[in-house]
Copies of this chain bind each other. A is one copy, B any other.
Amino acid sequence: MAAERLVIIGGDAAGMSAASQARRLKGPDELSVTAFERGHFTSYSACGIPYWVSGDVTGRDQLIARTPEEHRARDIDLRTRTEVTEIDVAGRRVRALDRESGETYWTGFDKLVIATGARPVRPELPGMDAAGVHGVQTLDDGQALLETLERTTGRRAVVVGAGYIGVEMAEAMLKRGYEVTVLNRAEQPMATLDPDMGRLVHDAMDGLGIHTVNGAEVTGITTGPDGRVTGVTTDGASYPADVVVLGIGVEPETTLARAVGLPLGPHGGLLTDLSMRVVGHENIWAGGDCVEVLDLVAGRTRHIALGTHANKHGQVIGSNVGGGYGTFPGVVGTAVSKVCDLEIARTGLRERDARAVGLRFVTATIESTGRAGYYPGARPMTVKMLAEYRTGRLLGVQIVGRDGAGKRVDVAAVALTAGMTVEQMTALDLGYAPPFSPVWDPVLVAARRTVSVLRKAGTA
């Protein structure tokens, strides 16, 4: 009997995790695995690019978890620089374009995995393609930015966007000695937080010497006679720049899927079932940045481009296509980041998310420290908590602070997954010792305050 043919489109986290896991479960006699990757690299940490640019990470290869050669050594037929340009769903084949030779050819599949990732949002504005304007989504992008930085003598950097990538790139450019201006369309940086918490990030960035302009709508890039970037204009002003970094966010790359009518959700991502199989398609799976995932708190799908989810998806897909079993139940929306020593974390719903799905809620915000107040190095941290009116169910947590603030959000992530109420959370048995926490952990202090707000609202 001929081996079953597994074809994978996309050679990064989701695709190659799926390939590896399937290969772990089935040998080449049973299953052939062919993976197409349009770039040079596989299985790399895009999240690490800001730290490569900053110099914290010394080389590109450190960001590569597994090279094409390593995958090939595991009996995966990996074809880099090869782009899939068409899916023939009924004919069970994909058309590939070898970007080196220009040759195209069809490859048949019994099972297909779509892991095409996300593409950066790149507004159609004058000058967007000028020399010195860089995205930072792929290793190739990072390499190009670093080459620009080596050539550029000017020290003025403008970062467009103040989300995770934006603030991380602001830190990176600051560390490289640039004067950094961040242009942010939203009311405050980190729109994944509520504005009151985003304000804390703004103030901290200010304190670090990062100039952040909120409510700034970029209208174009200005260039010099040599075609290189000279500045960024907004609806209200213009900012001189020797280099511009775009950190505006990403959207699902689903061009191929859309062309053949695969089901897409409200955010443009592929829709799958719990086994990561594309809805309505027995033999097609999808995972990573090109799918929508269930937000377990909101009960709606969301699009979240994050390596940790992509790895989990790949693991689940690989188990299922390899004859094992796995499911991806969904996310609670946990994210953590930092600007220099300021840690920023969130999980669950912001106020606007809760409103958008019809939830009524209360909020509480407290200040505490990451260690006992008397222990050396104790630094302030602010925790905001949302709980549902009446039921008291935890809806979300946002944390901004230093010294161990960020990963504290994990406690809330597990509590959200378990559907805990804030009253239940007040009794959580969290680790306590003076170097690690005040006697009431900040998350417990926030839970107690939220319970008290619920009571005053006559609802608990």
Measuring CB to CB, which residues of chain A are less than 8 angstroms from any residue of chain B? 13, 45, 47-48, 51, 56-57, 62-63, 65, 164, 306-309, 311-312, 327-329, 331-338, 343, 345, 347, 372, 374-376, 404, 406-411, 413-415, 417-418, 420, 424, 426-437, 439-441
Q: Is the CB of B439 within 8 A of A334?
A: no
Q: How far is the CA of A289 from the CA of B415 in the complex (A)?
A: 27
Instruction: Pick the contact of A47: B47, B338, B376, B433 (CB < 8 A).
Output: B433
Among all A-B residue pairs, the 7 with the closest Cβ atoms: A418-B418, A336-B431, A308-B432, A62-B374, A414-B414, A334-B429, A331-B429
Chain B residues with CB under 8 A of A439: 13, 45, 47, 65, 307-308, 311
Q: Apart from A331-B429, A411-B413, what are 10 other A-B pairs with CB-CB below 8 Å? A: A13-B439, A57-B374, A63-B374, A307-B432, A336-B432, A347-B429, A407-B431, A411-B414, A414-B415, A414-B420
Q: How far is the CA of A164 from the CA of B337 in the complex (A)?
A: 32
CB of A204, distance to nearest CB on chain B (Å): 16
A417 and chain B: residue at smallest CB distance = B428
Q: Is the CB of A434 within 8 A of B45?
A: yes
Chain B residues with CB under 8 A of A420: 414, 417-418
Q: How far is the CA of A47 from the CA of B374 in the complex (A)?
A: 12
CB of A396, distance to nearest CB on chain B (Å): 12
Take A404-B407, A431-B334 as given contacts and tell me if A48 and B372 are in contact as well, using a CB distance cutoff of 8 Å.
yes
Instruction: Pick the contact of A431: B345, B415, B418 (CB < 8 A).
Output: B345
Q: How far is the CA of A410 from the CA of B444 in the complex (A)?
A: 12
Q: Is the CB of B433 within 8 A of A410?
A: no
Q: Is the CB of A334 within 8 A of B407?
A: no
What are 11 A-to-B residue pairs whose CB atoms are below 8 Å? Answer: A335-B432, A347-B429, A410-B411, A410-B430, A410-B431, A411-B413, A411-B414, A413-B431, A414-B414, A414-B415, A415-B418
Q: How far is the CA of A372 from the CA of B375 in the complex (A)?
A: 28
Task: Among A347, A428, A441, find the residue whose CB has the most chain B CB atoms closer than 10 A.
Answer: A428
Take A62-B374, A414-B415, A428-B417 as given contacts and tell me if A433 and B45 are in contact as well, using a CB distance cutoff of 8 Å.
no
